[in-house]
Amino acid sequence: MADRTPLIAGNWKMHLDHLEAIQLVQSVAYHLDPEDYERSEIAVIPPFTALRSVQTLLEGDKLPMLLGAQDCHWEEQGAFTGAVSVGMLKRLAVRYVLCGHSERRALFGEDDEIVNKKLRAVMAGGLTPILCVGETLEQRDAGDAESVVASQLRAGLDGVDDPASVVIAYEPVWAIGTGRTATPDDADTMCGFVRDTISDLGGAESAARVRVQYGGSVKPGNAADLMAREHIDGALVGGASINADDFAIICRHHRS
Ligand code: PGA
């Protein structure tokens, strides 16, 4: 089995101003040991307005936590009011950028084509996209979970030579922010399916290397179980990531 370092990333969504952001990162860091950072990559994904403050804190205190952004525009610059480019994020030492989060798809009208444009722009800028895929409850009940995820992967990764240079987050929409988590078995099966699809797209070697996170109501109580599974390489954490104690416990999952 390929040696895949899990990525535990906290997607703060539209929560916390820059001062609260600093406080949260400091509290999380207080609970973590060097071993935690060795076992997993640990990343926070604050709103744009807090990126600079968090970056300064991470650099100043030499904290090995990584920084992510929740969105970007695919153009390098121009008349795109309200948008932020990959180059701007790169200047703030951002490593990861979410692409295709279900909230962007559902609330901001982002279709697969836009997701793919953003993903390619992130890669062209030398950053790593976290491509989010996942089915709705309706689609799951209709037996379409796999076909939906496969088509989001195909479209999102269009034009990408090595899919292993992208992180995939499997996030069933019905589990996001609902307190309803996929069982570890279901989550592992779907993450395994993601890996099989990557194998079709980029070959077996790429599939063995690609990191597939699970996301959707990951909490201190279920994180260790989920992340112990064969195909689950970390977690994309929403609600629990803005609570320092909860997020720290999730980051220390290997201790339980
Ligand atoms: P949740 O969100 O952990 O609050 O369910 C996950 C996500 O949207 O990435």
Q: What is the 3-state secondary structure (H, E, C) of 48-79?
A: HHHHHHHHHHHHHCCCCCEEEECCCECCCCCC
Whether residue 173 has its Cβ less than 6 Å from ligand 1 = no
| Residue 2: pLDDT band with limits 50, 70, 90 | low
Contact indicator for 120, 165 with CB cutoff of 8 Å: no
How far is the centre of ligand 1, averaged over its atoms, from the C-alpha of 119 (Å)?
A: 20
Whether residue 134 has its Cβ less than 6 Å from ligand 1 = no
How far is the centre of ligand 1, averaged over its atoms, from the C-alpha of 63 (Å)?
A: 24
- For 13, what's the count of Cα atoms within 13 Å in the CB-facing half-sphere? 15
Tokens of 19: 């001062």
Q: How far apart are the C-alpha atoms of 81 and 32, rounded to whole Å?
A: 39
Contact indicator for 231, 212 with CB cutoff of 8 Å: yes
- For 185, what's the count of Cα atoms within 13 Å in the CB-facing half-sphere? 0
Q: How far apart are the C-alpha atoms of 184 and 227, rounded to whole Å?
A: 8
What pLDDT score does 254 carry?
Answer: 80
Average pLDDT of the chain is 96
Phi, psi of 236 (to 5 degrees): -105, 115
106 CB neighbour count, 10 Å cutoff:
12
Contact indicator for 236, 215 with CB cutoff of 8 Å: yes
Q: What is the mean pLDDT of residues 69-78?
A: 98
Q: What is the mean pLDDT of residues 195-207?
A: 97
- pLDDT at residue 180 greater than cutoff 90: no
Residue in the structure block whose two tokens are 């609570």: 243
What pLDDT score does 62 carry?
Answer: 97
Query: What is the set of active-site residues?
Result: 101, 171
How far is the centre of ligand 1, averaged over its atoms, from the C-alpha of 17 (Å)?
A: 19
How far is the centre of ligand 1, averaged over its atoms, from the C-alpha of 255 (Å)?
A: 23
In this prediction, what percent of the chain has a pLDDT beyond 90?
A: 94
Residue in the structure block whose two tokens are 């090995």: 64
Whether residue 216 has its Cβ less than 6 Å from ligand 1 = yes
| Residue 177: pLDDT band with limits 50, 70, 90 | confident
Contact indicator for 34, 56 with CB cutoff of 8 Å: no
What pLDDT score does 14 carry?
Answer: 98
Tokens of 41: 């990559």
Q: Which of 45, 217, 222, 243 to mutate to test the pocket of ligand 1 (most atoms within 8 A of CB)?
A: 217
Closest ligand 1 atom to Cα of 219? 3
What pLDDT score does 13 carry?
Answer: 98
Q: Identity (one letter) of the amino acid at 5?
A: T
pTM: 0.97
- pLDDT at residue 1 greater than cutoff 70: no
What pLDDT score does 25 carry?
Answer: 98
Query: Burial of 14 by CB count in 10 Å (0-12 exposed, 13-18 middle, 19+ buried)?
Result: exposed
Q: 36-65: per-residue pLDDT in tens?
A: 999 999 999 999 999 999 999 999 999 999
Q: How far apart are the C-alpha atoms of 183 and 189, rounded to whole Å?
A: 10
Q: What is the mean pLDDT of residues 99-115?
A: 98
Q: What is the mean pLDDT of residues 229-242?
A: 98
Contact indicator for 93, 54 with CB cutoff of 8 Å: no
How far is the centre of ligand 1, averaged over its atoms, from the C-alpha of 241 (Å)?
A: 9
Measured on CA atoms in the order 84, 90, 42, 101, is the torsion positive or negative? positive
Residue in the structure block whose two tokens are 């790429």: 206
Whether residue 11 has its Cβ less than 6 Å from ligand 1 = yes
- pLDDT at residue 98 greater than cutoff 70: yes
Closest ligand 1 atom to Cα of 239? 4
Residues counted in the chain: 256
Whether residue 241 has its Cβ less than 6 Å from ligand 1 = no
